[in-house]
Structure 1
């Protein structure tokens, strides 16, 4: 609710939809992935988490399934920070979800205006590249990630989160009761918000890719979340706590515990008829697939009434 973290690669489904809806890319758009990205006339290499790249040409489906940073560096830069900010805000980043609890943090969906006001500096192209994979200045709360995931699962229909104290508790349909702790301005903003009107085909491309994250042969969570009796859509994420130099490789053995990467995972299930959306952040947990995804899986198993699986597998990002 109050903890704010770089969302890392969990933003890729949302920014993928942004690029599709804005017409920046077509569904078939692909790039060759050498394992890094460079801006024009700039020697700096923005590295993919997977040294050497993901092999051959990468389209949006593969970029989400395998969490390809290089694809998103390219597409995020083409989309531009103005559009990334616009679409990120539509999905609830940088603003309150309206949950009926006090002290909710808003996170940060950065923009040119924000940087000028907060730092007195211009927005640089490299800032956009970093935001495109949920790093740089961008911050989100676990509640925002869960709400955004539900927003995506509902194909653009936003639901205001509400605290339920016990299973089976009735939910009052009166919006004034649900939103009792909010300011009048926030109530009006959420009540008047129209569903996102993206093309059905664009929603499906992203949902199919999120299903492949969990069930695909190259999905980043496929080894950690096995034996499911239902279909889950998810996205792994890893958020850097400390910066890594240009040609330096991340080495956990050289870092203190509090310097290790944060592990993230967002998911909803069943993928075709969603009933639950989850966001998990494990501070300094390193890998979203091996640390955060199994936690989300247990929560979803319990909610859907499936037996708990206590095994945790090792995985990648």
Structure 2
């Protein structure tokens, strides 16, 4: 009788886990292994009435580090010197940015990487856990400052922008509009951020 009772309890628990609460446990499992990564939208191109582009987007690559995932930050920085031509100014900029950043934030180590530097790091990436190359869109104006008074410009985000974009789910946007057309048509030019599902490592 006791064996039958125990078997019944086990079957009831199994039914509860596999059938009744399946969706709940599956959601928890996905949250543990899948990370949502923000994908910044590509900002719209501005043309004149003849179809000549006045404001374009260029892809730039920068090396970023999440210090909490690195065993020894200083040793890693020293090892990166020869790989991506890391300079003392780059390291100083990284340390300054780290001091004012939140924990578990990916911090720029070197910006505007060349194709050669990107390739060299790709070959050596296995040596640098917690460090990766990321691509971003940067605004490019073919006529430089000649039309700035009309088109405006896009500027780097500040700490307040970071907090606001994080709450709005738009933290993937590296730069923000500032004035004139770039500001007046921000909603149209900016587009919408997306999110990518990535499997967590480790």
Q: What is the TM-score normalised by the length of structure 1? A: 0.20
**Greater share of helix:** 2
Identify the structure with bigger relative contact order (alpha carbons < 8 Å, sequence gap 6+): 2
**Greater share of strand:** 2
Larger radius of gyration: 2
